[in-house]
Amino acid sequence: MSDLSSLRNTVRAFANERDWDQFHSPKNLAAALSVEAAELLEHFQWLTEEESKQLSDSKRAAVRLELADVLIYLVRIADKLDIDLIAAANDKIALNAIKYPADKAKGSMRKYTEL
């Protein structure tokens, strides 16, 4: 079984054991995912970009657990919507390759609509 399928099963069992299914509508999970992403961002908000590349051990450990929270909710909402995350990501990358051709997008973060 793939990593993500295995994690999905673990998260599903965790929620079932706690009767949390009733709270896990896609709407609520999308809100929770957004909240976790913001908790990650909070660690970086006052750092310079350079500082963000050189986290202290304690900061890095905290950031690691925030990444974990984002992944857990992401896997949970994908489970609820019956979406294969890896297939979706590969499809999105294929679309991005069309929107951002390497030669035009090189060294620029302009939106594809402005390229």
45 binds a copy of itself (CB under 8 A): yes
Pick one of 53, 56, 98, 113: the residue that binds a copy of itself (CB under 8 A): 53
Pick one of 9, 52, 99, 112: the residue that binds a copy of itself (CB under 8 A): 52
- Minimal CA–CA distance to 81: which of 25, 37, 15? 25
| Phi, psi torsion values for 3, nearest 5 degrees | -50, -50
10 binds a copy of itself (CB under 8 A): yes
22 binds a copy of itself (CB under 8 A): yes
| Class of residue 111 by CB neighbours under 10 A (exposed 0-12, middle 13-18, buried 19+) | exposed
Identify the residue whose tokens are 């489970």.
Answer: 79
114 binds a copy of itself (CB under 8 A): no
Pick one of 9, 60, 99, 112: the residue that binds a copy of itself (CB under 8 A): 60
